[in-house]
Amino acid sequence: MATRAPRRPAAPRPKRQRRSAEEAHEQILDAADKRLGEAGPRGIRLQEIAADVGVSHPTILHHFGSRQGLVEAVVTRSLAGLRDKIVEVLSERALDAGEGAELVRLVSTTLGDRGHARLMAWLSLEGRPAEDPAKLLRGLGLAMHARRVAETGTPAPVEDTQLLVLLVSLALFGEGVLGDVMFESAGLGNDPTARDRFHEWMVRLIEQHLHGEGLVDAPKPAPPTGKAARRRSRGK
Amino acid sequence: MATRAPRRPAAPRPKRQRRSAEEAHEQILDAADKRLGEAGPRGIRLQEIAADVGVSHPTILHHFGSRQGLVEAVVTRSLAGLRDKIVEVLSERALDAGEGAELVRLVSTTLGDRGHARLMAWLSLEGRPAEDPAKLLRGLGLAMHARRVAETGTPAPVEDTQLLVLLVSLALFGEGVLGDVMFESAGLGNDPTARDRFHEWMVRLIEQHLHGEGLVDAPKPAPPTGKAARRRSRGK
DNA sequence: AGCGCTGTCTACAACATTGTCAATAAGGAA
DNA sequence: TTCCTTATTGACAATGTTGTAGACAGCGCT
């Protein structure tokens, strides 16, 4: 191959905005984060993001090494943001009774607003489980259980509380992903109060369970009693 | 542009497998369905699927018109399959009391096994809500409520039952997408019985709610009473 | 002013993927 | 057998996206 010809004399076009490396990082991450929320990891395209920021796409490569590097960075940042937000919400309203609905609502909006639930879904779908924020569940479950035992004298099994936390988590996650479609499909209107009603109802259900435990037939001791349901055919 | 030169004389290579249009459709759809379950709609690549089936990619274009046509077809088929499966499960175990856990387990595996929950998630994430199967929720809610009223004399509001159905649906969906990660994160082991325990526990929670309704402070009349939580900041 | 670091650019390479086209051949019908 | 329909194919076009190479240009420093 012939050696590349030298660039053309070049017309005088000296108008470059030079940011600090940090600034550039942040601006690029912000733009990428937006795309991430809208179209998922695969929606992160260098050219688009470059256009959003107002730079050329090699600039992004320069700062993040590769597309993958950018994806890692933005995913990590977003996940960290979610975790911090959740921690903040949980510690602020430190599991105060009576504030349950508010807490649920806050977590719901946290998962929904910035597309955090969507991000978790995407990561999971693409085979990269977002364990980071999920790690919170264990701690949350234990904390709730401690409070529960202290408050009501009930010596409920830990797993009961953990399952409760799991249920709410999964439901809020599902709400964050499927969102309005499910509300409408379920027969609730698509009016904006539907979510609030759902949250308040869920909290009442929880309260009812926490205080009413015992009127259930089988208190569920612990170990795998699996009486019915033995043949499982789950693919994985 | 110069007109294209005629093909080369061609060496004798007569070995083509000719399927009927129906056969071809099915084989291609099967292959596409597999990819769909593994990597979502974007994972459907003509060349890969063609290779899986053992044809060249223009053959797929011939049968489905375009990539989009193929995606539509496979998504439609998969969604219809899910709907039929759910209907089958629900009508077989026609909401028999006592069979609750089994029913929940069946729906769970139906959503999980063939990646139906994942598919719904994908479609929703990509902006195409999978309403088809979700439509079932309204009917299911009403049916359950009718049965509930008939069984227990309780004149519970319809919405209470609908919210219950919604909760379970969202939870099972979340389970189908996040799966084991959440179980482990919640503190439940990653042992295979965790799901069963969750399902059985959920059913007991439901039963408890259905029969214990009334011991909650506010029976929740109906309209948006939103006392706390008024400022909502949901983006959409 | 002169110098060096490095953020930024243009141009291009490399690759993947969808879609088009005309030729080919399998299988049934006449 | 001959003809016709159409499933199938190889070659190619068109486009989009990531990544590379080298030049260019702010900006702080001496």
Q: How confident is the model at residue A12 (pLDDT cuts 50, 70, 90)?
A: low
Q: Is the pLDDT of residue A57 over 90?
A: yes
DSSP state of B42: G
Residue nearest to nucleotide C18 (CA to C1'): B67
DSSP three-state, residue B232: coil
Give B9 to chain A, closest Cα distance, Å.
Answer: 32
Q: Is the pLDDT of residue A172 over 80?
A: yes
CA distance A122 to A104: 23
Residue B15 CB closer than 7 angstroms to strand C? yes
Q: What is the residue-averaged pLDDT of chain B?
A: 82
Helix B100-113 crosses helix B193-212 at what angle (to 10 degrees)? 130
For residue A138, give the nearest of B173, B186, B228 by CB distance: B186
Quote the percentage of chain A above a pLDDT of 90.
49
Give A162's contacts in chain B (Cβ within 8 Å). 186-188
CA distance A111 to A134: 12
Quick one: pLDDT at residue B131? 76
DSSP state of A4: P
Residue B59 CB closer than 7 angstroms to strand D? yes
CA distance B160 to B212: 13
Give the pTM: 0.85
Quick one: pLDDT at residue B135? 79
Which of B 54-83 have CB under 7 A of nucleic chain C?
A: 57-58, 61, 66-68
The residue among A86, A138, A182, A185 with the most chain B CBs within 10 A of its CB, best to mutate, is A185
CA distance B127 to A50: 24
Query: Average of pLDDT values for A205-234?
Result: 54
For residue B212, give the nearest of A112, A166, A212 by CB distance: A212
The residue of chain B with its CA nearest to that of A180 is: B129
Quick one: pLDDT at residue A136? 84
Quick one: pLDDT at residue A62? 98
Q: Is the pLDDT of residue A92 over 70?
A: yes
Summarize pLDDT for B155-208 with one digit per residue, the tens: 788 899 999 999 999 999 999 999 888 998 888 877 889 999 999 999 999 888
Give B192's contacts in chain A (Cβ within 8 Å). 232, 234
Residue A156 CB closer than 7 angstroms to strand C? no
Residue B63 CB closer than 7 angstroms to strand D? yes
DSSP three-state, residue A168: helix
Q: Is the pLDDT of residue A4 over 80?
A: no
DSSP three-state, residue A143: helix
**CA(B29)–C1'(D11) in Å?**
26
Cβ contact (<8 Å) for A187 and B137? yes
Residue B121 CB closer than 7 angstroms to strand C? no
Residue A23 CB closer than 7 angstroms to strand D? no
Quick one: pLDDT at residue A98? 64
**CA(A176)–C1'(D14) in Å?**
39
Give the tokens for residue B146. 């009718």
Q: Is the pLDDT of residue A138 over 50?
A: yes
**CA(B159)–C1'(C14) in Å?**
59
Give A188's contacts in chain B (Cβ within 8 Å). 159, 162-163, 166
Alpha helices in B40-192 (DSSP H): 46-53, 57-64, 67-92, 100-113, 116-125, 131-134, 136-151, 158-178, 180-185
Summarize pLDDT for B111-120 with one digit per residue, the tens: 998 899 999 9
Residue B17 CB closer than 7 angstroms to strand D? yes
Quick one: pLDDT at residue B133? 75
Give B15 to chain A, closest Cα distance, Å.
Answer: 37
Low-confidence residues of chain B, pLDDT below 70?
1-14, 93-98, 212-236
Q: Which of A169, A183, A171 is nearest to B137 (CA)?
A: A183
Identify the residue with better confidence: A114 or B23. B23
**CA(A181)–C1'(C8) in Å?**
45
Nucleotides on chain D that have an atom closer than 7 A to a protein CB are 6-13, 16-27
Nucleotides on chain C that have an atom closer than 7 A to a protein CB are 6-12, 16-27
Query: Average of pLDDT values for A146-160?
Result: 81
The residue of chain A with its CA nearest to that of B228 is: A102
Quick one: pLDDT at residue B100? 76
Query: B146-181 as b/e, with b when 16 or more CB fall inside 10 Å?
Result: ebbeeeeeeebebbbbbbbbbbbbbbbbbbbbbbbb
Quick one: pLDDT at residue A93? 66
Q: What is the residue-averaged pLDDT of chain A?
A: 82
How wide is the angle at C-alpha A111 spanned by C-alphas A108 and A115, nearest 5°? 135
Residue A56 CB closer than 7 angstroms to strand D? no
